[in-house]
Amino acid sequence: MAPAISCVFLVALFSASCEAIASTDQMCIEKETNKTYNCENLGLSEIPGTLSNSTECLEFSFNFLPTIQNTTFSRLVNLTFLDLTRCQIYWIHEDTFQSQHQLDTLVLTANPLIFMAETALNGPKSLKHLFFIQTGMSSLDFIPMHNLKNLESLYLGSNHISSIKLPKDFPKEKLKVLDFQNNAIHYLSKEDLGSLQQTTNLSLNLKGNGITGIEPGAFKSTVFQRLDFGGTLDLLVIFKGLQNSTVQSLWLGTFEDVNDEDISSSVFEGLCEMSVESMYLQKHHFFNISSSTFHCFTSLQELDLTATHLKELPSGIVGLKSLKKLVLSANKFTSLCQINAANFPSLTHLYIKGNMKKLDLGTGCLENLENLHLLDLSHDDIEISDCCNMQLKNLSHLQSLNLSYNEPLGLKTEAFQECPQLERLDLAFTQLRVSTEQSPFQNLHLLKVLNLSHCLLDTSNQHVLDGLPVLQHLNLQGNHFPNGNIQKTNPLQTLESLETLILSFCDLSSIDQQAFIRLKIMNHVDLSHNRLTSSSIEALSHLKGIYLNLASNHIDIIPSSLLPILSQQRTISLRGNPLDCTCSNIYFLEWYKENMQKLEDTENTFCANPPLLRGVRLSDVTLSCGITAVGIFFLIVFLLLFTVALIFAVKYFLRWKYQHI
């Protein structure tokens, strides 16, 4: 008997474990009901039967499909996006996609393709994006082109292609992106470029190809949206080759792992013979920059010199008078005056972020940039005891200023007086030293967005945020309030136009009922990651239809009197709170179930109490607190049965005892 029982037990155990394996191994993730599935990394060798016939978007990468043919996907007639990255596909047989009329994007990246049948891509009515990256292709003839009339982008990177020449009948009317990065293309001939003639505004990517020659006149009268020659060693060849072309955006940067030589000024002579709007020269070394180096850059609107080892720019530079946007990030300036801003009087956008040395802003270094709209000076180790009027002198049109991730800045009243047009100001992660009673942002009449996260702001200063009449968005994440409490009088009360307020990670334990009373039009309040209890909800009683994030606080019980305040809001998150799931919280638990459509992240909103329900989703909890009558009934029945049993026991005991007399 015992062996038989253990056998049954073992078999049961075995079958149970088998089921568990099957269910975890085969499951695709349904990202959008009946439409989008993710089946990545499952080792599947066919389309699982569990997928809906109406699937539109299928991520099927890292599976096993050595051969795909007309039966492989025939059931999924609504597919628009199909990702077959690294599925070990060798063969794509006839009519594989014949029933996928809607197919828009097909990703075949990293499959060791041996052959594609002539009709392999027939079926889709409007195939727009094709990815053949790292498929071992050495010639474009490999791609069957009967059904590519609507093709917009073709990605052919990391193959063995040595010529960009498109086959004779290759449809290119709608082609916008042609990506050949990391191939073996070394020469561009007139014939190669001639094959692209019918395209308009093409983006051609030749990054990582080591172009060593371009036939003179090859690019004559061509127009490109973007040309990318990233990592090319010899820029002289490129500029000479591009003569008489028009390029909107020309990417000529290099990389850490490419041995480049110093660029001499003569390299740029070719630029006089072409028209470029934006040029990128990242990571190059310039040999001897002089004031005439840029004399052929006159048509340029945008110049990116990121990480080009610059220590200074000479004064009196010719050719950059009409430049609109300049990027000088990740260089080695010690003072802002070293960029000689007078060179660029038309500049509207200036980026100097991530400077490799501590940047001294000096005095009035940018005063000639009267048209400057945007200035990015983040990650520069800037440290100033009295900011920012001297430093930003005469920038009266500045609308956007980024001083985030710097060393401490001392701000006094009207610290940004020189830029009264400011609409966006970002000071995140820069410590601000504001003396008591000072109002550094005073008179920023147009400021809409202010980021003060992790600024260690002195919030006991009631006037610190004075003078911001139209401020809509304020981020105060990571700042602390006296005693973790926002009192009735607090610096926020003056911000009557505020719509978005972020007070997460502020170590708050309470908020006064009246704390936000003058902030009447807020629609997004983030109070997450604090120590708030439900009583702080009262501070929001005057607000309606807001997004309210209360995640990761100390909320356990929400009394019924506070539920109307929650009911009048649009979306609420309560994830990560020690929510109570006992009868003392029954009103909230009932409200929760009735208002699921208002709640965000319900999948991760769990009970913390009682211990039996810890970790259970609130949405799965059903309490029966009003059902005590049934409890009493059962108790009575139990007592009755117990009494009966006791009587019988006594009876038997007595009978047994007297039998022996």
3 binds other proteins (CB under 8 A): yes
What count of other Cβ atoms lies within 10 Å of the Cβ of residue 56?
Answer: 19
Count of residues engaged in binding other proteins, rule: CB under 8 A? 43
Between 34 and 41, CB nearer to other proteins: 41
Among positions 124, 142, 163, 208, the unique one binding other proteins when judged by CB under 8 A: 208
Amino acid at 151: L
Site for other proteins in 396-425 (CB under 8 A): none
- Measured from the CB of residue 109, what is the shortest distance to other proteins in angstroms? 4
Residue 205 neighbours by CB under 8 Å, 6+ apart? 157, 177, 178, 179, 180, 181, 226, 228
CB of 7 to other proteins, least distance (A): 5
Decide: is 18 part of the binding site for other proteins (CB under 8 A). Answer: yes
Q: Is 14 in the site for other proteins (CB under 8 A)?
A: yes
Give rounded-to-5 percent helix, strand, coil for the chain.
20, 20, 60
β-strands 67-68, 607-609 pairing = unpaired
Contact 505, 477 (CB under 8 A): yes
Interaction pattern, residues 229-248, with other proteins; x per rule: CB under 8 A: -xx-----------------
Give the nearest distance from C-beta 307 to other proteins in angstroms: 6
Residue at token pair 């190059």: 284
Position 182 contacts other proteins (CB under 8 A): yes
Which residues are CB-neighbours of 320 under 8 A, at least 6 positions away? 294, 297, 300, 303, 326, 343, 344
- Angle, CA of 454, 457 and 458, to the nearest 5°: 150
Cα–Cα dist 616/239, whole Å: 66
Q: What are the phi and psi torsion angles at 376 (to 5°)?
A: -115, 110
Site for other proteins in 279-298 (CB under 8 A): 282-283
495 neighbors 473 (Cβ within 8 angstroms): no
**Which one, 109 or 343, has the nearer CB to other proteins?**
109
Sequence letter at residue 184: A
Helices (H) and strands (E) in the chain, counts: 6, 37
Q: Smallest distance from the beta carbon of 282 to other proteins, in angstroms?
A: 7
Whole-number minimum distance, CB 428 to other proteins, in Å? 16
Residue 641 sits at φ, ψ, to 5 deg, of: -60, -40
The reply to whether 85 sits near other proteins by the rule CB under 8 A is yes
- Segment near other proteins (CB under 8 A); pick from 250-258, 410-418, 485-493, 644-652: 250-258
- Residue list 523-542, contact with other proteins (CB under 8 A): none
Assess 207 for contact with other proteins (CB under 8 A).
Answer: yes
Identify the CA nearest to 181 among candidates 163, 166, 152, 159. 159
113, 145, 177, 258: residue in contact with other proteins (rule CB under 8 A): 258
Query: Virtual CA dihedral for 361, 366, 371, 372, nearest 10 degrees?
Result: -20
Q: How far is the CB of 197 from other proteins (least distance, A)?
A: 28
Least separation in angstroms between residue 272's CB and other proteins is 28
Q: Which of 89, 110, 274, 372 binds other proteins (CB under 8 A)?
A: 110
In this structure, what token pair is assigned to residue 204?
């051609």
Binding residues for other proteins restricted to 327-356, rule: CB under 8 A: 327, 329-330
148-167: contacts with other proteins (CB under 8 A): 155, 157-158
What single letter denotes the amino acid at residue 426? D
Smallest CA-to-CA distance from 227 within 212, 211, 217 is with: 211
Query: Which part of the chain contacts other proteins (CB under 8 A), choosing from 50-58, 126-134, 193-201, 407-415?
Result: 126-134
CB of 158 to other proteins, least distance (A): 6
Instruction: Check if the beta carbon of residue 206 is closer than 8 Å to that of residue 227.
Output: yes
Annotate each residue in 298-327 with x if it binds other proteins (CB under 8 A) or - if it does not, as one string.
------x-xx-------------------x
Of the candidates 27, 31, 41, 604, which one interacts with other proteins according to CB under 8 A? 41
Interior angle at CA 167, CA 164 and CA 171, nearest 5: 105
Residues of the shown chain interacting with other proteins in the complex, contacts defined by CB under 8 A: 3-4, 6-7, 10-11, 13-14, 17-18, 21, 41, 61-62, 85-86, 109-110, 131, 133-134, 155, 157-158, 181-182, 207-208, 230-231, 253, 255-258, 282-283, 304, 306-307, 327, 329-330
